[in-house]
Amino acid sequence: MMQIHALITTVHTDAGSVASSLAPDNLKGMITIAEGDQVTTVINGTQIRSVIASVDDYLMNLAIADETTTLPRKKTGNKRNEGMKKLES
Domain ranges of the chain: 4-73
Predicted pLDDT of residue 79: 46
pLDDT range class, residue 72, cuts 50, 70, 90: low
CATH placement of domain 4-73: 3.30.310.50
Nearest CA-CA partner of 57 in 6, 12, 17, 11? 6
4-11 vs 30-35, strand pairing mode: unpaired
Predicted pLDDT of residue 70: 83
Taking the whole predicted model, whether its pTM rises above 0.85 is answered as: no
pLDDT tens per residue across span 4-63:
999 999 999 999 999 999 999 999 999 999 999 999 999 999 999 999 999 999 999 999
